Structure 1
């Protein structure tokens, strides 16, 4: 079973491109305390690059749950809940990026 879990993890990483995203975390090391705004913007960009593919995956999963429910009330409720929280999560990811970008732009204008 461990080999199966390992395969699933590697396949998920390959699909989402997490290796490239995590490798871009190296660019965070270039920034020092004098460029706090750039650091915050890079962190927000990295979180968005990792979070949005995961959110899309959960949206697809909720669609699969809707299709596989086949009219079962309990399964439909689970699918609705998964869809609802996937949309909330996506909104939080996009909203956090927008707020971070707005704060950086505001700080630059001071």
Structure 2
């Protein structure tokens, strides 16, 4: 029943002047490397937002310390750890992208 109604609806789309946009719904094909690359990009974006939040939080702690050396040290520790974490993430991204590139090249040579 639903497929019959869908078939009637596509006739209306064609007659409404939708052209190629209404005639078929093709899904773009992508390979595993594109999917993994997109996933890595999303994860890196998320980690960048976390780094920004940590830096803002550490700056807020530092500015509101009012001379409290313990709070200043906590803020410095948060900043240092966030920067070290981002260096580790960027290094792992570089390593992962190189491995993916070599895998892609080795598969395409065959």
TM normalised by structure 2 equals 0.60
| Aligned: 1:83 with 2:79 | yes
Match of 1:99 in 2: 95
For the aligned residues, what is the CA RMSD? 1.8
| Larger CA Rg, structure 1 vs 2 | 2
Match of 1:68 in 2: 64
Moved more, 94-103 or 72-81: 94-103
TM-superposition CA deviations, 1:72-91 (whole Å, max 9, x none): 11111111111111112222
| Cα distance in structure 1, aligned partners of 2:49 and 2:34 | 23
Match of 1:25 in 2: none
Q: Larger relative CO (CA 8 A, sep 6+): 1 or 2?
A: 1
Match of 1:109 in 2: 105
| Cα distance in structure 2, aligned partners of 1:102 and 1:62 | 33
Alignment coverage as a number of residue pairs: 78
Q: Unaligned regions of 5+ residues in structure 2, if any? A: 1-28
In 2, are the aligned partners of 1:55 and 1:90 still within 8 Å (CA)? yes
Q: Unaligned regions of 5+ residues in structure 1, if any? A: 1-29
